[in-house]
Structure 1
């Protein structure tokens, strides 16, 4: 196993990736053991963070070294948003074919071509505003992704302006369950197999209320035809995990609510299996969301090289 030594200079700039209407940055991490037709994970940082700081805290490049996974880090510019948030709530940045979503789609296409990535194994995750933008990408470009993971994020199009976004973050208002489902279905003309969804949230999150996690689950339950209570509930590293499965047994939605945790990405940095580094919005709670999300996607299986 490769031991991850946290630092801020592991990422490589992608200089060109299309018209970039959202004026975003793009950086990659391609491990030395990356195989031809290997998988790609797209990782969206949260507010006040950078691609480098999120990578250091979450440990994704450490897992990439272990398992031979390529990483893409879209990055926000302060000229677009004063606190470095992705603009998931703006009309021009929440639809297919426009703004930040199109920029992220373009950079994915460029990286897939540059590094011979298997286009059927592209995944996306993000924290906070990055989690909300992951919701946007999963709804607007579902054909691109095999799976997504939303950490302390919000449902797709739960807000249409900054004021609504603030209210939704606090757990007030929002679309009905029927509307939530319709918003995803209306975001594209997709008719194929929808991405699997992993949802993570802190029960003590005072920045983005944990009711948003349940709304995300409900937004995707009808899409995956798994309405109702979870198929099973189990504990992983002492944390309850709820799972919804298709009739054939395939897991399509999972949800972790970590009751003692505030706003941030859950990490477990200690020991041989440790990943990441504790810091602002990188919360040491004894469970690595990075490692378990990779497990959910099948990236840390024997086939993936771990």
Structure 2
């Protein structure tokens, strides 16, 4: 049977639809495993990035931080055609409208989760202007100026940071030079994580590691003896550098500032066809209950 795709507004609102379902799953896991509720984070790519925006806006009290990779700002679209327009960088609501949508999404008055935004400068699927819109949306609730506090190069890519009066980093934005639509990977060096593949792009910087470091849940990498083998889980070897990058810091150990260094960036992987990417995004939206 063939049906028309249509937008379901429920998943984008607090206490309803897919957002509520995800919230309930988080609660179940937190209770079952006795998780520290001050250390719950969320991240997603593309349609998952858009859903991350939804969860952060609708349930900001749940998350210590969120990372949105090639996603959309919350409340930027109400229909599927609008969503695809926003993906192309067209018709974005004003900064004030986006900020109002975020404030109206929940009764929360703060504190607010820290936000990490990642986007490829050559993304032909979701325009990089969405990254700017996400940053602008979250600056208001954090009470931050439009101008970033710090700009630097990390592993050869641009990073901007917004800090509060106490010097705490609340928002960061990475613009990955020459990268298309996907999650940035760094598969070499002491912080190596993951294996390149569709939408997992080896561009010489590990978004996973840098995000975890921004959140204060990963130590800086330490040079290890090459003969030491990584730990194993479920009889499968972990990706090189996993144990190093995600060893948890001891209580009271402060987050270490990002190093600013340049590196030679390998060529981005050839992107998949636009039609294929669109199908992946539509399938993800359907799985999330946003389309059917």
TM normalised by structure 1 equals 0.70
SS at match of 2:61: helix
Structure 1 residue corresponding to 2:17, chosen from 86, 92, 99 = 99
Per-residue displacement from partner, 1:16-72 (whole Å, max 9, x unpaired)? Answer: xxxxxxxxxxxxxxxxxxxxxxxxxxxxxxxxxxxxxxxxxxxxxxxxxxxxxxxxx
Written as runs of structure 1 = structure 2, the 5 A alignment for 1:160-171 is 160-171=78-89
2:188 aligns with 270
The alpha carbon displacement at 1:270 in A equals: 2.0
Counterpart CA distance in 1 for 2:82 and 2:8 is: 10
Which piece of structure 1 moves more, 254-263 or 296-305?
Answer: 296-305
Counterpart CA distance in 1 for 2:16 and 2:9 is: 9
Quick check: 2:191–2:206 contact (8 Å CA) kept in 1? no
Counterpart CA distance in 2 for 1:173 and 1:122 is: 33
**Residue 253 in structure 1 maps to residue 176 in structure 2:** no
TM normalised by structure 2 equals 0.73
Structure 2: state its 5+ residue gaps: 221-246, 251-292
Aligned length: 223
The alpha carbon displacement at 1:177 in A equals: 0.6
The structure whose residues are more often strand, as a share, is 1
Written as runs of structure 1 = structure 2, the 5 A alignment for 1:185-264 is 185-264=103-182
Counterpart CA distance in 2 for 1:305 and 1:221 is: 28
2:248 aligns with 304
Across the aligned residues of Structure 1 and Structure 2, the Cα RMSD in angstroms comes to 2.1
Counterpart CA distance in 2 for 1:207 and 1:272 is: 31
Counterpart CA distance in 2 for 1:288 and 1:90 is: 34
Greater gyration radius: 2
The alpha carbon displacement at 1:170 in A equals: 0.3
SS at match of 1:106: helix
2:287 aligns with none
Quick check: 2:152–2:159 contact (8 Å CA) kept in 1? yes
Quick check: 1:90–1:162 contact (8 Å CA) kept in 2? no
2:34 aligns with 116
SS at match of 1:248: coil
SS at match of 1:144: coil
Structure 1 residue corresponding to 2:62, chosen from 144, 160, 167 = 144
SS at match of 1:304: coil
